[in-house]
Amino acid sequence: MESFVQSVVSGVLTGSLYAMIAVGLTIVFGVMRIINLAHGDMVMLGMFGAYWSYTLWGIDPFLSVGIWAPLMFAGGMLVQRFLLKEVIPKGELNTLLYTAGLSLLIANLALFFWTGDYRTLNLDYAVMPARPFGISVPIPLAIAFFMAIAITTALYLLLSRTDVGRAMRATAQNPQSAALMGVDVQRIDMITFGLGTALAAAAGVLLVPSLYLYPTVGEILIVKCFVIVVLGGLGSVPGAIAGGVLLGLVESLGAVYVSVAYKDTIGFVLFLLVLLFRPAGLFGVGKS
C-alpha cells in the first residue's frame, strides 16, 4: 500500500511538470493550429539556461525562472514574428516540417556548443528527500510542483479574466471572427507563442535539479508532450493538465506494477487508441 501511495505521489509530482510543458504546446495549437515540434527544445534551453546561471553565477534555479521565463517569452515572440509567420500560410504539414527543422537546428547547435555530455545540477539543500508521512519526496521536485501549480494558476487566470486571455480564447475558436471583433490576431499569435515558449522554458528551469540534462532531451520530451496533448484533447488547457498528471501516474504506477520495461509502451498504445477512436481526447474536449 505504501509503495502505491509513493508511486502516486511521484507520478503526480512529475506529472505536474509534464502538464506545464503540455499546456504550452496545447495553447499554441489551440490559438494558432500549429504543432510545434521544437517545443521540447524550448524546455531544453530553459534547462541549460538554469544550469549555466547556477554554475557560472550561483543563481538558484527556482529564482532564475524569473530571468529565463521572460527572456524565452521574448524569444518565442521573435520566433513567431520572424520565422513562423511566413510559414504558417503554407499549410499544417509544411509548418510541422518547419518546426521539425527548427527543433533539429536548436538541438544540434546545443550539441555543438555544449557537447552531448550528461549534466546534473546538484543543489546542496536537495540531497536528502523530505519524508512527510513516510513518503519520500525529493525537495527540488516538490518545490517545482508548487511553482508549477502557481504558474499554471496564473495562466488560467490570464486566460479567463484578462482581455488578452479572452482575445486568445476568441482567436482559438475562430480567428476570422476574432479579427472582425477587433482582435489583433497577429499580436495574439505572438503572445501565445511567447507564452508557450515561456511555459516550456520555465518547466525546464524547474526540472533541471531533478533530471539529467543533455542537448537532445527535447526529443523524448516532445514525444511525451504529444501523448499528453492528444490524450487530454488538442487545444484544451484543463485537458493538458489532466493528461500530464495522468501520464505521470501511468509511468510511475506502470514502472512498479507492470514492468519498468514496458511502461513507456503503455503511453504510446493509449495515444494510438485515442487518436483512432477518440480524437477529441479522453475527455472529449479537444478540437481537431
Query: By rule CB under 8 A, what count of residues binds another protein?
Result: 44
Binding to another protein (CB under 8 A) within 59-78 occurs at none
Query: With contact defined as beta carbons under 8 Å apart, do 232 and 283 qualify?
Result: yes
Quick one: which H or E segment has residue 178?
helix 175-180
List the Cα angle 79/83/87 in 5-degree steps: 135
Residue with grid cell 509511468, as numbered in its chain: 251
Query: With contact defined as beta carbons under 8 Å apart, do 205 and 49 qualify?
Result: yes
Quick one: which H or E segment has residue 124?
none
Identity of the residue, 201 or 227, whose beta carbon is nearer to another protein in the bound complex: 227
In the complex, minimum distance from the CB of residue 225 to another protein, in angstroms, rounded to a whole number: 11
Q: Kindly write out the interface string for residues 186-225 of this chain, putting x where it contacts another protein by CB under 8 A and - elsewhere.
A: ---------------------------------x---x--
Give me the helices (H) in 79-134, please.
85-87, 92-114
Beta carbons within 8 Å of 173's beta carbon, 6+ residues apart: none
Binding to another protein (CB under 8 A) within 71-130 occurs at 83, 86-87, 90, 92-94, 96-98, 100-109, 111-113, 115-116
User: How far is residue 24's CA from residue 222's CA, in Å, rounded to a whole number?
Assistant: 11
User: How far is residue 235's CA from residue 32's CA, in Å, rounded to a whole number?
Assistant: 10
Identity of the residue, 109 or 130, whose beta carbon is nearer to another protein in the bound complex: 109
Q: Is 226 in the site for another protein (CB under 8 A)?
A: yes
Q: Three cell numbers at 111?
A: 550539441
Identity of the residue, 88 or 179, whose beta carbon is nearer to another protein in the bound complex: 88
Binding to another protein (CB under 8 A) within 243-272 occurs at 259, 261-262, 264-265, 268-269, 271-272
Question: Which residues of this protein are in contact with another protein, per CB under 8 A?
Answer: 35, 83, 86-87, 90, 92-94, 96-98, 100-109, 111-113, 115-116, 219, 223, 226-227, 230, 259, 261-262, 264-265, 268-269, 271-272, 275-276, 279, 288
